[in-house]
Amino acid sequence: MILFAPNPTGSGHNMRALSIAQAIKKQRPDMPLTVALASLQPTFTPMFEKSGVEVVDIAGRLVDYSKKSNLSKELDWNNYIGGYIANTFLSGERILSYLALIAEYKPTALVSDYNMAACLAAIFSGTPLVFVTERYDFTLCQLEDHDLADGGFEVNALEMARARTALHSQFNWMINQSQLVLTDKPYVASLDQGTPVAEALVSGKAHFVGPMIRDINVQTGLNVREQLNLGDSPFIVASISGTTMFAQNKDALLAAYLDSFRILRERNPELKLVLLGRQDIQAQDGVVCVPYYPDWMGLLREASLLISAPGWITVTEIAALQIPTLFVLPSKSEYHELEALRRLELLGFPTHLGHDRDAIVELIQGELEKDTDASAYYAPHQQVAAPDGEGAARAATRIIELCQGSIVSLTESKAA
């Protein structure tokens, strides 16, 4: 039996776990799978169960990190480590919950999608660990104090240096204790050199497998345009869901998108906007608000452009589907996605930092006017999707090999 433990801080972790689980079921329908869900349970429970995966609500309550601020503007040991990391990533209560779950289910392997508490529980219990990660180190360790100061944080340099040292040490130890590390984020030397995952790629413990996403060839049969009353009009999809450090950033970005669309619609009255992640805004001509849409990939295939935060599961999806996308981060205070934005820029994707309306209008207009049939247009996408969009299948194969004993288990490696 394989136990999945996606991190609770975003839908992407759940989605990646679901995609790998579906790929395992495709290769080994008889293999029992269980997922410990810790966030967005109403949305994901039926999706996992439909795929033949048993669901355990490890949180015991609905958790949604997209609805509130999750960080203080004062970055010191007490606020960052005590108030954020210790509660969100390294909760003692959560570690004990996973230990109890491991004792009950006795999994052959635990697959953690950036879930530190689950990783520690697996290591403590001697359970073979597969670490699925979109990060090469803790986020803080790949950012400088000036990046944080630019985001409006008051940084206690001494205490944050101690925090970096401690977090890097924990991350490095965790990678060393894992039996298998899988990533969907392509290596960029200027960002990743010397990080624990980069070193694991060299040693052969880690593998870049490409997009770990749902089967892009599956068609739901839903008529996107008919369901959303879009007709034949060209439309943009703007997503403002996902974990936020500060709720005011999300509000500012929403206002910028709506104001930008008013101007764009004056230029092209046929243009429409599908706004994902909100339903509590005033009616606006040409705007369709959808808190969640089940055929996300079908929606993207019909869209002229996606505007999104640089959440990595979204990056891998649009790369595999070859969707024109503009990545926008409203502020450096959303520090958890700053590294991803920089990576996307280095890979050649269009990006923007800020929520200035006029800048966003011109960026969107420029993207809509680009020739998406040009051979070079999707070169950035191909770097993320290399060699193709079948990363979940490759991940599944490696996990199955681990469970079948092709990779030495933790207890055996210690004995040796």
Domain ranges of the chain: 2-211+389-415, 224-385
Q: What is the mean pLDDT of the chain?
A: 92
Q: Domain 224-385 class?
A: alpha beta
Check: CB of residue 167 under 8 Å from CB of residue 82: no
User: Given 3-state DSSP classes, what are the helix, strand and coil percentages for the chain, each rounded to the nearest 5?
Assistant: 50, 15, 40
Residue 380 one-letter amino acid: P
d(CA 293, CA 122): 35
d(CA 86, CA 213): 29
Per residue in 5-19, pLDDT tens? 999 987 899 999 999
pLDDT of residue 281: 78
- Computed on alpha carbons and rounded to an integer, the radius of gyration of the chain in Å comes to 21
d(CA 16, CA 214): 8
| Run of H or E residues at 208 | strand 206-208
Q: 414: pLDDT confidence band, cut at 50, 70 and 90? A: very low
Question: What's the rounded mean pLDDT across residues 318-346?
Answer: 95
pLDDT of residue 405: 87
Q: DSSP characters for 65-120?
A: TTSS----SEESIIIIIIIIIHHHTS-HHHHHHHHHHHHHH--SEEEEES-HHHHH
361 pLDDT more than 70? yes
Per residue in 283-301, pLDDT tens? 889 999 988 787 889 999 9
pLDDT of residue 244: 72
116 pLDDT more than 70? yes
Q: Domain 2-211+389-415 class?
A: alpha beta
Which residues on adjacent β-strands are paired with residue 235?
Answer: 272
**What's this model's pTM, rounded to 2 decimal places?**
0.92
What percentage of the chain reaches a pLDDT higher than 70? 93
Domain 2-211+389-415 identical in fold to domain 224-385: yes
Check: CB of residue 278 under 8 Å from CB of residue 104: no
3-state DSSP call for residue 372?
coil
pLDDT of residue 221: 66
pLDDT of residue 40: 86
Question: What's the rounded mean pLDDT across residues 215-229?
Answer: 85
Q: 256: pLDDT confidence band, cut at 50, 70 and 90? A: very high
411 pLDDT more than 50? no
Structure token digits, residue 236: 């943009």
Q: 59: pLDDT confidence band, cut at 50, 70 and 90? A: confident
Q: DSSP characters for 141-165?
A: GGS-HHHHHHTT-EE-HHHHHHHHH
Per residue in 301-327, pLDDT tens? 999 999 999 999 999 999 999 999 999
Question: What's the rounded mean pLDDT across residues 379-394?
Answer: 95
pLDDT of residue 69: 53
**Is the CA virtual torsion 143, 334, 96, 111 positive or negative?**
negative
pLDDT of residue 375: 84
Q: 67: pLDDT confidence band, cut at 50, 70 and 90? A: low
331 pLDDT more than 80? yes
pLDDT of residue 282: 79
Strands 325-329 and 305-308: parallel
Per residue in 268-285, pLDDT tens? 999 999 999 866 777 889
pLDDT of residue 222: 74
What percentage of the chain reaches a pLDDT higher than 90? 80
